Structure 1
């Protein structure tokens, strides 16, 4: 029954994720913020809601490894999804086509934010109002980063070289966009609520699976709940690529990853026995390192913009996929 419930919740999350793609794309055009920003903020935050609930609920229940690894494991899984999307987009390397300064900035911001938990783990165990200072720093950095991201888009200091394979972010004609903005927002919010409820159920199931199957909470968090709650990102990135909204696809993954780091602030707030950064294990920290390496490769790919690579995908996509599969194999062996 637990396994069946896990699969059912994962399916609900995946189906709702498909609907969110269309709503986010239309909201990007309606508001004029652009696909990359909409992907980072609207789509990234909404599709991450289920994972947010999993980490917070697990922390409240004292499941430290499940809470932490669910957050950072999802970052690695979602980055790997871009390699799958690159396989679907056959016109050129996805990172080449999705040239956008906002995506470059978001990937750089993610690198910065992933370094904060590493510093917190290695530093002294301190707390302010029951939270580690790192938990205060993460949302502040995120909000400042979003503001700078908008400035980068509005007043860029340099531009990517446009080629025949570069896909520009062009809003749809107003008459082709329906329904109205208010209706879009309501539907978008309703879908995110469904994701939140699904995440709560999934967190409870994940904790029981770890207990009854005798497997580590890190394994469950990084490779089960993280992947299950990341299904919206997989579905939306593939759907967005098929729609030709490549900036939305890449921005949704990177933006979702950046937002996922904020899971740690909520998890620290939910864990009342001290700092969550000093309650985790090295196995949990392993996935922070994996996420940093994969994001570094992605950032290089976004800068180099290789037009074609091995097997008609970018060399960075192939490298990202191999890094993730290698990390999964190591986690299985360690289990």
Structure 2
């Protein structure tokens, strides 16, 4: 993908500046998404699942499609699948800003369904990788097409379920505990102005997120670390920074549904991105071959998602201070995944 420069300190400076820009834009985007959901009378779970998750996934989209065009299969798969466990760990980290376990607050079962569908798609990816994509049309594997169809079906099911409200949890905590004050002026701003600001924030995330990715790749090359290890760790961390800032901001202002749907929605997007990447990848189906790191990252993605799914179903769970035990277990699993990735590099 190329160097930004031949100087490691200069590359690190570009990385730091880009990270700051993405952090500020992501925080602002969380406020704007919350304001727009209220203004347009949209469910926050839908806004988080569709709009916010897509906006914060722009760096992943740009990185994945660029790597696919250049034929760097390892970077495509490690960036996508390695980012899922990391983004789930981001949700666990945001729990430190919540008043009690974050998975206690959702007032519908939407998030449990999101996690279940995510596990389903992760399992499908593993099956496709193990089978090896025996069927392909014009170089596009049947497996990636199946993932795209399942993703579309998942969005339809989640939208329908949000309107149906088949069952809801009981014994819920206060939905708005100590909300962090939003920037002044959002309630008075016009819908057109809020939308324009959201578009601008997305542009900043895309531009500086792409610079963040390029600088991360340059640091990987300059430091001599392996491509696979960097793809599943540093590169995934760089592209997941928007999810970090938006999730923490959403939790601080009490928008827990927005934060959870943002992460699960982003993880679902990571899987459906396999389809456009497969179209742009000209060396055969992108899921035809794999590596131990790819399969391991998918395994850890299932583990951390299942932990949060359990936390969403068990309303009264042990806590360590104000943090739910499920978030602690997710963070422990993520640290363990880093150690395993390093050993497999």
When normalised by structure 1's length, the TM-score is 0.91
Within 5 A, what are the aligned runs for 1:148-297?
A: 148-166=157-175, 177-297=187-307
Q: Distance between the aligned counterparts of 1:220 and 1:27, measured in 2?
A: 36
- Which of 97, 109, 118 is the matching residue for 1:110? 118
3-state DSSP of counterpart to 2:136: coil
Structure 2, unaligned runs of 5 or more: 1-9
The structure-2 alpha-carbon separation of the partners of 1:167 and 1:161, relative to structure 1 and needing over 3 Å to count, comes to: farther
Match 1:123 to one of 127, 131, 136: 131
Counterpart for residue 40 of structure 1: 49
Q: Distance in 2 between matches of 1:329 and 1:301?
A: 25
Per-residue deviation, residues 193-219 of structure 1 (Å, max 9, x unmatched): 232233433444444444333222221
Distance change >3 Å, CA 89–CA 62, structure 1 → 2: same
Deviations 1:110-168 (A, max 9, x none): 11121222122111433123211122222222222122212111112111114344559
RMSD: 2.2
Asked whether 1:69 is paired with 2:78, we answer yes
Question: Where does structure 1 lack aligned partners over 5 or more consecutive residues?
Answer: none
Quickly say closer, same or farther: Cα 1:328–1:32, change in 2 above 3 A.
Answer: same
CA distance in 1, matches of 2:292, 2:314: 33
Higher helix share: 1
| Per-residue deviation, 1:14 | 1.8
Please, which moves more after superposition, 116-125 or 32-41?
A: 116-125
Report the CA distance between 1:178 and its aligned residue.
3.7
Distance 1:37 1:223 in 2: 29
**Once structures 1 and 2 are overlaid, which stretch shifts more, 56-65 or 286-295?**
56-65
Relative to the length of structure 2, the TM-score reads: 0.88
Aligned to 1:86: 95
